[in-house]
């Protein structure tokens, strides 16, 4: 074992010990109920909630995917995300978050499927939505493992293999999640968000310096690969369509949606809404710019290999002790998303499936035990999938995000449109997912994409079908519709 | 419907319209694939500044919605 490997492993071990300690400490505050394990008793204040929400959103995409994509496509990768997602997602905190939070407070809802399905008291819709959300969350979860695994593998110069790296990361996340549930995850995320935000700034400053300063690093890119500056590697249609997809999808991420519902009051949500765009811009700008500079500093990476550009730059240009600290920052970002995803999928399975079975009679303590087992099983499943995944992080994410984005139309329909029917919501989900998968797998002709990413035509299908089927089916007269709109009207009156 | 709710609905509509416009004009097709000089610090060009401007406008929209539309 070289000195580099020993130092990196020691620092990462110290970092893991801190987060496991936080998880352990948080477990002392556990109330042993489902509400507490999955929602932290809905008591989070602004800073913890911001860290939990932002940590759930900043993932392997930012610390591995964005620099990796910028390595091949250039600086356009930061606006690819930031000039839509960074401000549109907080806007949707208002559109979707404010009404969902009200419903969560009034009826105790925890998941997207409960909020949408109970609008029409439709178990079928809730199950269809849950299944769709789980199907897309698992590959997203896998990208966290892949990103963290590739980072550790690169930082230790291959001493810890990709598979062992992923096992180590999964084991750490599982430990604090099994101990502390949502409260443990949120507290750990507060620490992790601080680490990865400060760490990213440090990474940028150190590497920019080592490359001769930003102007010199950019000049070299301009000389060797001018298309990374002129944006010749990305089509305008791809840029446009991804803007829509990346803006529409995060609000329906189960992990993010659930965390919005854990806010103590609307003021907390408003505060995080106003703060959210700033770190989103800073993080993406720094990481994508580093990835672009990396193309001239470390050439020759093919396809998904570029996901490891950040640790490779760290290995090449920073002192050994700093690699450990900065590696921890990368880990923090990836783990904070993984823990929330594991918890949210578990919540969906227990709330949307088990609560409709014989298990609905089980005590809270039993359900919490079952939730813990599910967290473990899901982590193993994601690990197995990650071991066999050959694709780059951004490729997996573009597909998963498209799937999530198609669900926004039925969510808006449930919260804002009285005339909307549950049949319309079900058909909107089903047809848009068929369209997305058909276009991605080539079962539907490529021409139907019109040069856009598959997610965009699928979103259009979701909206058109929602509107068309709504007008083809009778006006809903159910109890759920009345309850929802009375509650919204009351809240509007203040 | 009270005048207050009507006024809030109007503000909401304007906010969503502005959001849609921003989503469209973020694609600066007129500069796409063209080599532009670095005008700031030797490493920031005009399209980068333009994209930053889109973020600023979006951020302003978020602040507006949080303070003038979303009531507790």
Q: Looking at residue A111, what is its pLDDT?
A: 87
- Rg of the Cα atoms in chain A: 22
Query: Among candidates A57, A124, A132, A69, which has minimal Cα distance to A437?
Result: A132
Q: Looking at residue A302, what is its pLDDT?
A: 85
Q: Looking at residue A216, what is its pLDDT?
A: 94
Q: What are the residues of chain A with a beta carbon less than 8 Å away from any beta carbon of chain B?
A: 75, 78-79, 82-84, 86-88, 90-91, 94, 98, 214-215, 217-219, 226, 229-232, 236, 239-240, 243-244, 247, 265-267, 270, 273-274, 276-278, 281, 492-494
> Structure tokens of A380?
């193993």
Indicate which of B4, B62, B69, B71 best probes the interface with A, i.e. most A CBs within 10 Å of its own CB: B62
> Structure tokens of A233?
């590697």
A340 phi, psi to nearest 5 deg: -70, -35
Distances (CA, A) of A457 to A89, A114, A366, A448: 20, 27, 44, 8
Q: Are A311 and A149 in contact (CB under 8 A)?
A: no
Q: Are A55 and A19 in contact (CB under 8 A)?
A: no
For the stretch A164-207, pLDDT in tens is: 888 888 888 787 777 766 677 777 777 777 877 888 888 899 89
| Count of positions (residues) in chain A | 494
Query: Dihedral of the CA atoms A432, A438, A439, A444 (nearest 10)?
Result: -120
Low-confidence ranges of chain B (pLDDT < 70): 1, 72
CA-nearest residue to A97 within chain B is B70
Distances (CA, A) of A250 to A270, A407, B2, B28, B31: 17, 11, 33, 24, 29
* Gap between the Cα atoms of A58 and A51, Å rounded: 10
A419 phi, psi to nearest 5 deg: -70, -20
Query: Dihedral of the CA atoms A176, A177, A179, A183 (nearest 10)?
Result: 100
Q: Could you tell me the domains of chain A?
A: 3-393 (1.20.1730.10)
Helix (H) or strand (E) holding B57: helix B46-64
CB contact under 8 A, A214 and B43: yes
CB contact under 8 A, A265 and B29: no
> Structure tokens of A429?
């989900």
Could you list the pLDDT tens digit for every one of the 494 residues in chain A? 687 788 888 888 888 788 777 777 776 766 666 666 666 656 666 677 777 777 777 766 777 788 999 999 999 999 998 899 999 999 998 999 989 999 998 998 888 999 999 999 998 999 899 889 888 888 778 877 887 887 788 778 888 888 888 888 888 878 777 776 667 777 777 777 787 788 888 889 989 999 999 999 999 999 998 899 888 888 999 999 999 999 999 899 887 888 788 777 788 888 888 888 998 899 899 999 999 999 998 888 888 788 888 888 888 888 877 777 767 777 777 777 787 788 888 888 887 787 777 766 777 778 778 878 888 888 888 888 888 765 666 677 777 888 999 999 999 999 999 999 999 999 999 999 999 999 988 899 988 888 898 999 999 999 999 999 999 999 988 888 999 999 988 887 65
Measure A275 CA to nearest chain B CA, in Å.
9
Chain A environment of B8 (Cβ under 8 Å): 492
Q: Is B33 near chain A, with CB under 8 Å?
A: yes
Q: What's the ipTM? A: 0.92
Q: Are A56 and A225 in contact (CB under 8 A)?
A: no
Q: Are B35 and A227 in contact (CB under 8 A)?
A: no
Q: Are A434 and A458 in contact (CB under 8 A)?
A: no
Measure B49 CA to nearest chain A CA, in Å.
11
* Gap between the Cα atoms of A228 and A61, Å rounded: 19
CB contact under 8 A, B70 and A270: yes
* Gap between the Cα atoms of A217 and A208, Å rounded: 7
- Burial class, A491, CB count within 10 angstroms (exposed 0-12 / middle 13-18 / buried 19+): middle
Q: Are A120 and A478 in contact (CB under 8 A)?
A: yes
CB contact under 8 A, B23 and A87: no
The conformation of residue A263, written as its DSSP 8-state character, comes to B
* Gap between the Cα atoms of A298 and A118, Å rounded: 53
CB contact under 8 A, B41 and A75: no
Q: Is B1 near chain A, with CB under 8 Å?
A: no
Chain B environment of A98 (Cβ under 8 Å): 70
* Gap between the Cα atoms of A10 and A402, Å rounded: 39
| Domain boundaries along the sequence of chain B | 3-69
Q: Looking at residue A391, what is its pLDDT?
A: 61
- Which residues contact residue A213 at a Cβ distance below 8 angstroms, ignoring those fewer than 6 apart? none
Chain B environment of A90 (Cβ under 8 Å): 62
* Residue for token pair 């940590």: A55
pTM (2 d.p.): 0.85
Angle at B32 between CA B31 and CA B33, to 5 degrees: 115
């Amino acid at each position: 074992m070289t000195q580099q490997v020993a130092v990196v492993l020691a620092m990462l071990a110290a970092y893991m010990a801190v987060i496991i300690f936080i998880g352990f400490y948080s477990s002392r505050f556990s109330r042993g109920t489902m509400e507490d394990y999955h929602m932290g008793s809905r008591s989070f204040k602004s800073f913890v909630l911001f860290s939990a929400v932002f940590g759930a959103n900043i993932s392997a995409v930012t610390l591995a995917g964005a620099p990796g994509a910028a390595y091949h496509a250039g600086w356009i990768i930061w606006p690819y995300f930031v000039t839509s997602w960074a401000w549109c997602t907080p806007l949707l905190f208002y559109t979707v978050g404010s009404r969902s939070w009200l419903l969560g407070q009034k009826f105790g809802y925890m998941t997207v499927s409960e909020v949408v399905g109970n609008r029409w008291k439709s178990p079928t819709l809730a199950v269809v939505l849950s299944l769709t959300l789980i199907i897309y969350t698992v590959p997203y979860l896998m990208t966290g493992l892949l990103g963290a695994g590739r980072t550790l593998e690169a930082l230790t110069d291959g001493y810890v293999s990709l598979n062992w790296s992923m096992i180590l990361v999964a084991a750490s996340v599982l430990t604090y999640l099994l101990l502390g549930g949502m409260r443990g995850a949120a507290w750990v995320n507060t620490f992790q968000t601080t680490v990865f935000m400060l760490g990213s700034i440090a990474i940028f400053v150190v590497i920019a310096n080592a490359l001769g300063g930003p102007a010199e690093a950019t000049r070299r890119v301009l000389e060797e690969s001018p298309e990374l500056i002129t944006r010749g590697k990305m089509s305008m249609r791809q840029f446009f369509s991804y803007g829509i997809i990346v803006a529409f999808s995060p609000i329906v991420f189960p992990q993010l949606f659930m965390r919005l519902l854990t806010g103590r009051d609307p003021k907390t949500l408003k505060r995080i809404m106003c703060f959210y765009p700033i770190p989103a811009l800073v993080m993406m700008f720094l990481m994508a710019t580093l990835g672009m500079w990396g193309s001239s500093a470390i050439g020759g990476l093919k396809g998904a290999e570029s996901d490891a550009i950040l640790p490779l730059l760290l290995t090449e240009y920073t002192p050994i002790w700093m690699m450990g600290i900065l590696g921890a920052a990368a880990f923090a970002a990836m783990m904070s998303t993984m823990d929330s995803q594991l918890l949210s999928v578990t919540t969906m399975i227990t709330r949307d499936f088990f609560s409709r079975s014989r298990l609905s009679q089980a005590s809270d303590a039993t359900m919490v035990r079952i939730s813990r087992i599910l967290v473990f099983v899901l982590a193993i499943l994601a690990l197995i999938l990650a071991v066999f995944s050959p694709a780059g992080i951004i490729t997996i994410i573009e597909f998963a995000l498209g799937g999530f984005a198609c669900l926004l139309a039925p969510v808006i329909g449930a919260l804002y449109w009285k005339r909307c029917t549950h049949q319309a919501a079900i058909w909107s989900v089903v047809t848009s997912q068929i369209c997305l998968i058909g276009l991605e797998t080539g079962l539907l002709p490529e021409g139907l994409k019109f040069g856009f990413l598959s997610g965009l035509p699928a979103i259009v299908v979701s909206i058109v079908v929602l509107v068309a089927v709504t007008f083809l089916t009778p006006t809903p007269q159910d109890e759920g519709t009345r309850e929802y709109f009375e509650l919204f009207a009351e809240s509007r009156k203040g | 419907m009270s005048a207050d709710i009507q006024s809030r609905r109007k503000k909401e509509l304007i906010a969503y319209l502005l959001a849609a416009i921003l989503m469209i004009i973020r694609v600066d097709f007129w500069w796409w694939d063209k080599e532009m000089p670095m005008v700031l610090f030797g490493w920031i060009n005009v399209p980068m500044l333009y994209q930053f401007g889109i973020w600023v406008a979006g951020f302003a929209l978020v602040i507006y919605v949080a303070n003038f539309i979303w009531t507790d």
